[in-house]
Each structure stands twice: as structure tokens, then as C-alpha cells.
Structure 1
Amino acid sequence: MSENSIADPGTRNGGDLVIETLEALGSHTVFGIPGQHALGLFDALSRSKLHFVSSRVENNSAFAADGYSRATGEVGVLFLSTGPGALTSLAGLQEAYATSVPMVVVASQIPLDGLGARRKGMLHQLDDQKASAANVTKSQRTVHHASGIPSAIQDAWVDAITVPQGPVWVEVPQDVLLAPVLVPPVRDALAEAYEHPPRVELIDEAVRWLAQATRPVIVAGGGVRRAGAQDALLAVAESLGAPVVCSPGGNGAFPWIHPLSLQSWVEDRHVTEVLEDADVLIVVGSALGEVTSNYFTLEPRGHLIQIDAEPRVLESNRPALGIRADAKAALEYLGEALGKLKGGVGADWHGQGPEAVVAQTLDKVSARLDAQDLAKERTFMADIRAAVPDDMQTFWDMTISAYWAWSCWDAKGGEFHSAQGAGGLGFGFPSAIGGALGLQVAGKTPAQARVLAVSGDGSAMYSIAELATAKQHNAPVTWLIVDDGGYGILREYMEGTFGKATATELARPDFVALAESFGIPARYAEPENVREALEESFAAEGPNVVVVQTLLKMFAPTHL
């Protein structure tokens, strides 16, 4: 039998080793699209208990695996074919990489004897496929023999779940996937994350600073949520009497309604001034990047403590006491050390308490919004929030509604997911499909697993083909499309900068008719009726679509 021939029925091959290892590691669901060099992998999939979700575009498969991981806390698994299929996934993987979402990507490759060569006519061949993935994955490896598959995938899984978490890349050549194997079936696989506890001397120094602080403030990023550090954050904040503001990625890391909560108004200059006035500013699980620093206008005047599992972000934008650690571990260490301080820590903001500063700041934010012509936008977002059940997870594309949600969305008991890590279009709907299907696999009923996706008409077109996926898998997703006739946020940016917009206006389909052509219920709703339309859609079964045609504006974050 030649190396490239398909194994006889009943004969296990390299593809079986991939599947068996994933099952042994606890995987339940796989996303992707079949391809010529990956046929051995997909043939083995047919003999397994893994649930395969076939998207229509590989980029959307990556978003779906990302959404699955975010919704369930499990590792997302993605199967890719060689060359064009692998390359098409990269923008989706960039979002997972930027947001530290754990994923294992298994990509096929051309046969071993073609690697490193440049054979004319070899379908899908790249000079270095693995190098193409290097910018958007934590690690990359190629398996050269079937017996190495289990160890390679197990090692990749460890990489994916070790902080900073993220997607990892394993590629297996076609002939390795097809080769019959003598290796016995994989029965168990152990993948444990490496721990990164904070250095004791750094925690001691942070405590020394905080013991003398009277105006401590905390910025909570997505790393707090990913680490499950919400309780530890709350304990530290209350121990210090420190106001807390969440970044867009950290939305939900701290209770929205709390005397110390500045909510998520990081793009508001009034909140930025509170951060600047802090004598010790703690930034945990955030790079303090473009949005969180209010577009780099933040100029802290006090000490800065930055805690993050990714060493490359520490002090990347500001000098700081950089502590490399998982957010939960660091906050627990910090909380324990603060608890031993005699007399505790006294917060005194120029003669008033931190709760008063928080209340006054939120009043200023509200007054600034009141002074702008934003009644429609604020009512629209409030109506969506009122319609969404407290525990429903939501997935937001890069659209004006999402930009509002970054600041004003109270996640309550549900998880808030957006594409602000890399900022690419098309995240909302496919990630919501992955999230909803993942929640069902986790044992939720279709009603409990229902999620909301929010897109603009421009971003919706990136993932419109996934209506077929939603229908095929009967995914309990309600997709809200806010149709303003173009790339709304880019239109606003260009008009604000240049006085006119160029190339932002779009021809688009009748979204309702298009959804219905897939057999998916859809409806138009007026902006003032969005709450009723969503509530009715949430009560239905399977996927459905709500389209609102309206033009929304962004708020101005600076003083008027």
C-alpha cells in the first residue's frame, strides 16, 4: 500500500490518533471545513463521538471555535485544510490570540516529501505554512511521524491552557494522517497548565506602595475574567477602598452596581481623570492599550502596578512595577498580604471617601451624555439590555452598538464577548453560533443556551454564509443586525476628521428575505420596538434574525 493511499476499512491511521488524543483530553466539539489533504483526519472523525460543526468559511470556523471556548471555558478545537483553508482562518485566529482564548488548531499539510521544496503543481502548497500562523498563534509545530501525534497535540494543549492562554498550531502532513499505525489506541492524555505565581518580592513591594496609598484605583482587564478572578478582585478592591473600572474585555469582572464601580466608562475623560489622580494605579489583566488608556490620553501621576500573565505587555505603554502572573493568583496573594496590614489601608480622596468619588464621577459621565443629542442611542441600548435575560451571553461585532456596549453594558450574570482584541469584522454571529452550541454540549437546554449576536450591516456581510451553519445545526442564536447602510463607525471617524466619508456606503441585501431563504425566521423592527422584537425572538426555537434599520451616533468622550 502506498503512503498516500487510504487505509483499509478497520485499519487505524494517523487521523485516528488525532481524534483519540483530542477525546482523551476532553474535547467534545470540533469546528472547521474538510479539505483534500485532511481527508484522513475527517475519515477518522466519522468513527468518533466528537461533534463536528462545519462552517462555510474557515475564518468563521475560527471565530466559532473562539466563541465556543469563551462561552464554555473549554479549549476550542479547529480543523483546517492546507494552504487556502489555513490562510483564510488567520484573521479569526488573530482575535483569539489578541484576547488569549485557548484553542488547538490542527491543520493538514502536503506530504512529507514536499515540505521545504517548491514542486510545481502541488495543490495548496505554501513555502512555509507554519510561518504564516506564527503571528496569530502562541506556538507552532509540525508532526513528521504518526507515533508523534499524541504527544504533539498534548503538548499543544498545555500551551493553549497555560497563561497567557491562546491558540496553538499543529500541522500534520497528508501521508502522516493516512499512514496505518501500530500505536495502540490513545486511552488517556494529561495536559496541565504551568503555573506562574507572582514573585514574592514584587508582591511585597506592591503592598508597601499600597500601605501608603490614599487614592488607590484599579483597572480590571480581560485577564481577570479569563482567570476567574472576580471574587479575588472584589476582595482587594474592598480591602483598599479602591474604585474599579473595567476595560471592554474586562466587562463583568467587577459588579456593575457597587459603590466602588466606575463601570466600564474607560473612554470617558472624567474617568480618565480619576485614574490620573490615583497615587497608586493597579492595572490587572490589561495591556493598558489604546481603548483602556482612552486612546493614550491617560497620564498617571502616581505609582503604577501592572499585573499580567503576558510578559510582553508589562510596561509596554507605561513604566510600572510589572508583575508577571495569572490575575487570580496575583490578586489572591495581594489580598492575603493586604489583610495582614495593621489598621488596613485608608482611602481618602482629598477629604472624601472613594464611594463619593465614584458617585460624583458617574454623575459627571451622565451629565456629559445628557448634554449631547444621544437620546435615541441611549434608549436603544437600554432597550436591548432590558430584553436580554440576566444570564444570557452576548457576542458583539465591531459596530457602533458594540462601541456603546463597551462602556454602558451591564453584563449582569451573562458573559460579554466582543471583537475588540484584534478588532476584525465578522466576529459576532459565528462566535455566537459556537458559543450556543457549546452551551448545549455543556448540558444547557436550547432555551438556556440561547445567545445574542449583534452586528452592523457591514460586519454582517462577513459572516452571512453562516446562516446555513446556524440552520444546519439549529443553533439557538438570535442575530440582531443594526443596518445603517454602511460602515457606520468608519463613516463617523472620516466625517469627524475630514468632513466627509469615502467608500463607507454599502449596497446590502434584504437581510430578512435572505435569512428566510435559509429557512430562518426573520423580521424587521423599528428602533423603538427592538425590546419587544428581541423578547419574542428569545422565546422561539433555533436561529432567528432581527433587523433594525437606523443610524446611531457615538458619544463624544471628552468635555463639552
Structure 2
Amino acid sequence: MTHDHDLVLRPTEAQMRAALAPPAGRTGGDLVVETLRGLGATTAFGLPGQHALALFDAVGRSDLRLVTLRVENNAGFAADAYGRITGEAAPLLLSTGPGALTALPALAEAAAASAPVLAISSQVPAAGLGGGRRGYLHELRDQAASFRDVVKSVHTARTQSQIPSVIAEAWESALTAPHGPVWVEIPEDVLAAPTVIPQVTGVDATPHELAPRPELTALAAHWLQNAARPVIIAGGGVVRADATAKLRQLAERIDAPVVTTFGGKGAFPWNHPLSLQSWLEDRYTTDFLQDADVLLVVGSGLGELSSNYHTFLPAGRVIQIEADLGKLESNHPALGIHADARLALQALLETVGERRDPGAPARVAALLAAVRDRLAAQDLTLEQSLLTSVRAALPPRSPSFWDMTILSYWAWSAFDARHPNTMHSAQGAGGLGYAFPAALGACVAEPGTPVLAVSGDGGAMYSIAELATAVQHGLDVTWLIVDDGGYGILREYMTDSFGRATATELARPDFTALAASFGVPAVTTSPETLAEDLKKALTTPGPSLVVLPATLRMFAPTHLG
């Protein structure tokens, strides 16, 4: 009797020929590259180091595109953005010890944002594994332990025969909801030694689907259909799951207002009659959400920023759809539905009936008017005009990447992303230096599409070396640096809390002159000319820099005085 799975596992004639006559000179590094290509990877990010040389040599002999950056953490940010934009697992190739550890903050951001990054690091020779101290260069007592609490899963290939299976297992983990970064490490000698392992010609790493339990979605649908004041909070999980169309269908079927979290920007149309936009740090919005008798939270853990710094206390029933089991009901009791957002929303759409509420758009409009009135009383015309200028200059489908700077904090609440998966920031883990290298990863993912990065002068210094990367690879990136002479948001926080700021003032370079030294066109702009200068930079092929000297203020979420 022949079973179907026997037929699936039987090698083809082409695979047999490849296995019996592999190219000469292959090493363990080739097994890594062959596995990545077999999984569908076309592009990798990283930079070489001593223990990883055999891996990079194999990449150099392959058709895998390698985008090298100047700092490992920046390479991680670029891989993060590539994964967010494409939905594919982005290979990040690293060396041992310091090179690996330098990428930790980027992997933390990828974990917080559910970005699929496949980090592959070399290790000391296999004899040095196991926690001893052999005196190898870059040796750590337990390198994987440094990453285990950050990434989604950790994998080690101790022999060449393990490499294809280990990488496939990691790939599957990275792309199974919730997406996230994974860690693979391979000893130097395993990568460098000649191999007799046949050429990798067939790899299967199909991600698992995380479907909701039907009894839970049935109860959720009943609650929503019979609610008096339902509201939806849409998080980044909606965007990662490509579920924005289903979210809109559900909101319109039950006339439920929708607010998007900062990680979920673009998940719901900004100017839709049911759109509460993203004013999660404004108390009017917090009160509106608290008043809901049924609150549907999709793809968000309701963390610090999404809960207005944990001041949000829902009064009604909460339904939470979340693929990350660690975030499910972690902050508020709820009907927890452990599922991919797309599959859960589809299940709700198949069950919930129409619920009409003609007054919902008016309540939404009243809330947004109240927010606007509060801002108007705070003399924040400059900040709002800058966002208007950025929006006017940026093509609707161009991705934008925002560092941890005051203009970005404004953008979380006030920027219309226009389309899903086009606005990204470092608000997941909150590390500086994200915007520019992440924008470079997006340029690689979408060649020919202009990409915008927004940084403050403090955060810009974390990634200034990547101007060389942008030039080397000819990437169509525009970098807007808002120069206020320091860590502006920390200056404001410290002054508000302690009456003075410490260690927030910075010496910085002449950014336009520095850009010119890299051969990058640069201009110093003003609030009045920002839209024009940005538009010109975004339509100029290759990298460009726009510097805006300005000191900005954050809005107050409640009435002043």
C-alpha cells in the first residue's frame, strides 16, 4: 500500500542528480545558503566577522543578494523593516560575540513589533560550546542565553547535517503567528569545513495557522451584535495578518467606532466616519473607550502606550484577539481568543449579524472635534503644520520610518498613514536609531519606491554611518533630521518631572556638510519650505538628507491648568 506522504518525500530525478553530483568546494556555509534559497529567501542583511567568514564566502558565491550595513544593530533594523514590508523572514547574518550582541536592541524591536527576522550567527568552534572557557576570540559562556529572552525561539546546529533542518525549523517559527525574530547559531568549524552533505534541494517550512476556537468567536459575535456601544481597538496584529479589509467589514457591519494603536497605523481608514484615528494619549479617547459596553481588541496587548500609560480601565466586556499568548489578557480580564487576527475576524464575519447605530458617526465626530479643540488651546501650530507638510510631500503608498523623537510622538497620534503597512516606528521596544537603517531595509524590499526616515539629531547619530550604506547600494531614501540640539523628548520629560534637564544637550555635526562628504545631496530647510524640500528630495533618485532646525513640544493629553 502506498501512502500519499511517501510520494511527497520521494526525491525527483533532478534532486537525485543534484545530490549525487554536488558542486566542488562546498562547505557548511553553502548548506546555510542553499537552505535559505530553498525556503525562498532572495536577500540577506548583515556584516562579516572572523567566525562567520565561511558563511559570507558561500553567500558571495551564490545568487543571494547581500546588503551589508556598517553596524550590526542597524543591519537588524534593516532586516526588521524588510520583514515588515514583505511579510517574509529576513535573514540577518552575524558573527560571534560582540557582533551578535550588538544586534540585540534590533531583535528586541522586531520581537515587540512581530517582525519576522531570521538571525543566523556563527559560534566559536564546536569544542567551545557547552559553557566552558576555552579562550576563543569572542567567546561567551552561553551566547544563546543572551538572546533567549528576546527572540521567539533559539536554534543551534552542531553538525552540518543539522543545518537544513534547524534553519527550516527557525524559518517556520519566524513566520508562524505571531511573527517574530528567531535565533540560529552554527559553530565556526561547522561552517568552514568541507561537506559531503548533498546539495539542499527541497525544504518545507510551512507556517502553522493559528485558528480561533469556534465557541469563543460565537460568543464574541453575540456580544458585539447585541452591544449598545461597541468599540474596536485595532493593533499591529491586524496589519501583520493582512486583515485590514476584514476589520473594515466588521466595523461597518456592526457600526462600531475604531481606534488604531500606534503599531496599528493604517489598519483602518483615517477619515472613515467610524474612525477614531489614533489619539490614544488623549484623555477624551480614553474616556470614550472606557464607556464602551463591549470592547473588541484585535492584535494588541493593550500595553503602556495603547492604554494611555495604564490609565485605561474598561468598564464593559472586553474581547481580545491576540496571536501572542503572552499578551493575551496580560493587562485586562477578557474573553481571550488566541488566534491570528485575519482568521479570527473572518470567523466573526461568518457569525455576527448586522447591527445598526446611526448615531455612531456623530459620536466619533464629536470626540475628534473635542481633541482638536484641546490642541487648539495649547498653541501647537508648528508641530501640526510639520506633520501636514510631511504628509503632503510623501506619496500615499511610500513607507515611512520614525525614530523616537518628538515629531514621531506626534505622528503616532496625528499622522494619517493612508495605507496599512506604510508607517513604522520604534515604539515597540523604544530604542534610538531605528528610522534610517529601517528605511534602508524598506528601500531594498520595494526598489523604486521613495522611502522616508524621520529622526531627531540625537537618534540620527546612532546610524549616521549608514549614509555610506545608502550610497553604496544606491537606495532611494530621504532622511529628515529634526535638529533641536539634544534629546528633545528626554529634555521635556526631565524638565516637567524635575524642573531641569541633565545630559540632554548634545554637540552635533553640520549634518548637511557631513552628508556632502558621503556624496549625499543635503539641504537645511524651514517649517515654511519643508513640504517643498521634502518633495524634491523624495523625487530625487538615491539618498537625500533634509535638516530641519526646530524645537518642538508635545501636546498635553488633558486640559492645562
Other-structure match for 1:345: 355
Look up the equivalent residue of 2:159 and give its one-letter code.
Answer: H
Other-structure match for 1:43: 57
TM-score of the aligned structures, taking structure 1 as reference length = 0.94
- CA shift, 1:188, in A, is 2.6
- CA shift, 1:232, in A, is 0.7
* Counterparts of 2:419 and 2:235, CA distance in 1: 17
Q: 2:335 aligns with which of 321, 326, 333?
A: 321
Q: Which segments of 5 or more consecutive residues in structure 2 lack a partner in the other structure?
A: 1-22
Look up the equivalent residue of 1:526 and give its one-letter code.
Answer: S
- CA shift, 1:346, in A, is 4.0
* Counterparts of 1:71 and 1:260, CA distance in 2: 27
The RMSD of aligned alpha carbons is: 1.1
Other-structure match for 1:452: 452
* Counterparts of 2:260 and 2:167, CA distance in 1: 35
Contact 1:213 1:346 in 2 (8 A): no
Contact 1:487 1:506 in 2 (8 A): yes
Other-structure match for 2:432: 425
Other-structure match for 1:443: none
Other-structure match for 1:394: 400
Equivalence map 1:216-231=2 (5 Å): 216-231=230-245
* Counterparts of 1:476 and 1:187, CA distance in 2: 35
Q: 2:419 aligns with which of 413, 421, 440?
A: 413
Other-structure match for 1:438: 445
Other-structure match for 2:510: 510
Q: Which segments of 5 or more consecutive residues in structure 1 lack a partner in the other structure?
A: 1-8, 441-445
Equivalence map 1:285-304=2 (5 Å): 285-304=299-318
The sequence identity of aligned pairs, in percent, is 58
Other-structure match for 1:257: 271
> Which segment drifts farther, 224-233 or 175-184?
175-184
CA-to-partner distance for each residue in 1:342-368, whole Å, 9 max, x for gaps?
A: xx3244xxxx71111000001001101
Equivalence map 1:350-389=2 (5 Å): 353-389=359-395
Look up the equivalent residue of 1:438 and give its one-letter code.
Answer: A
Is the partner of 2:144 in helix, strand or coil? Answer: helix
Q: 2:91 aligns with which of 62, 67, 77?
A: 77
Other-structure match for 1:6: none
Other-structure match for 1:4: none
CA-to-partner distance for each residue in 1:24-66, whole Å, 9 max, x for gaps?
A: 1111111111011111101111110011111111000100101
Q: 1:128 aligns with which of 142, 159, 184?
A: 142
Look up the equivalent residue of 1:353 and give its one-letter code.
Answer: G
* Counterparts of 1:532 and 1:115, CA distance in 2: 57
* Counterparts of 2:234 and 2:131, CA distance in 1: 48
Other-structure match for 2:551: 551
Equivalence map 1:50-129=2 (5 Å): 50-119=64-133, 121-129=135-143
Contact 1:16 1:44 in 2 (8 A): yes
Is the partner of 1:297 in helix, strand or coil? Answer: coil
Look up the equivalent residue of 2:411 and give its one-letter code.
Answer: A
* Counterparts of 2:95 and 2:443, CA distance in 1: 25
Contact 2:222 2:352 in 1 (8 A): no
Look up the equivalent residue of 2:291 and give its one-letter code.
Answer: D
* Counterparts of 1:430 and 1:105, CA distance in 2: 16
Is the partner of 1:496 in helix, strand or coil? Answer: helix
Equivalence map 1:472-551=2 (5 Å): 472-551=472-551
Is the partner of 1:337 in helix, strand or coil? Answer: coil
- CA shift, 1:14, in A, is 0.5
- CA shift, 1:218, in A, is 0.2
Look up the equivalent residue of 1:86 and give its one-letter code.
Answer: A
Other-structure match for 2:252: 238
Contact 1:269 1:559 in 2 (8 A): no
Other-structure match for 2:14: none
Q: 1:117 to 1:215 in 2, by over 3 A?
A: closer
* Counterparts of 1:37 and 1:136, CA distance in 2: 23
Contact 1:214 1:346 in 2 (8 A): no
- CA shift, 1:68, in A, is 1.1
> Which segment drifts farther, 207-216 or 236-245?
207-216
* Counterparts of 1:188 and 1:93, CA distance in 2: 29
* Counterparts of 2:314 and 2:235, CA distance in 1: 17
Contact 1:198 1:329 in 2 (8 A): yes
- CA shift, 1:327, in A, is 0.4
* Counterparts of 2:133 and 2:251, CA distance in 1: 61
Q: 2:199 aligns with which of 185, 190, 197?
A: 185
- CA shift, 1:509, in A, is 0.6
Contact 2:284 2:370 in 1 (8 A): yes
Look up the equivalent residue of 1:70 and give its one-letter code.
Answer: R
Look up the equivalent residue of 1:382 and give its one-letter code.
Answer: T
Look up the equivalent residue of 1:547 and give its one-letter code.
Answer: V
CA-to-partner distance for each residue in 1:375-431, whole Å, 9 max, x for gaps?
A: 111111111111111111100001111100001111113610101100000000000
CA-to-partner distance for each residue in 1:213-265, whole Å, 9 max, x for gaps?
A: 11000000000000000011011101111000000000100011111000111
